[in-house]
Structure 1
Amino acid sequence: MDYYIKSDTRKGLMAALAAAGLIDGEGNLVMAGENFALQYLGKLYDPPIVDEFGVELAPAQLCTGWHANFRLLSGDLPDVLRPLVMKTPPTTPLVVWF
């Protein structure tokens, strides 16, 4: 199951990831384990709007919040991450799993 995680602040996202056991004793993100993968994204930008000739009509726009993707292969989502799961996943995510 894939989850799109979003917090209003970097501090909030990092605190939730730490509480979920996704930050090690040295302060590094734990990016993968036996049943999960984490992709820390931070700030995201919607791409610029361009016309058919590649002329920029509107610049890239900063998305609100701080973002991470969490793929869980088995087990339950850590409770501390549940409030941060986007209720409506992006229709065209800027970063996806392969």
Structure 2
Amino acid sequence: MEPTELTEHFDIVPAHNDHITGGVIIGDDPETSVLNNYLQMWDMDNVFVIGASAFPHNGGYNPTGTVGALAYRAAEGIIRFREEDGQLVEAQKKKNSKLA
């Protein structure tokens, strides 16, 4: 392996390595996200969505490690949900939100 310098214009598209992400964004406000930090849906307490769909966009690199970490986090949430039932995280409403 030989190190090389990045050119002025770096583009990941020519590699054709697609890691499609996004769709059910993770966040702390149900007005701007679909999942809490346990990957539990805000609107459906008993639904947990595990995968790269929780990302707001693709970071340009293989998301497998992060998806694995999020799967462990979701597993913790599912275990808690079986004991506590309901929302595991209190929503944080943002004041003066630009999306409001």
Q: TM-score by structure 2 length?
A: 0.23
More helix by share: 2
Structure exhibiting the larger radius of gyration computed from Cα positions: 2
User: Higher relative contact order at CA 8 Å, sep ≥6: structure 1 or structure 2?
Assistant: 1
TM-score between the two structures when normalised by the length of structure 1: 0.23
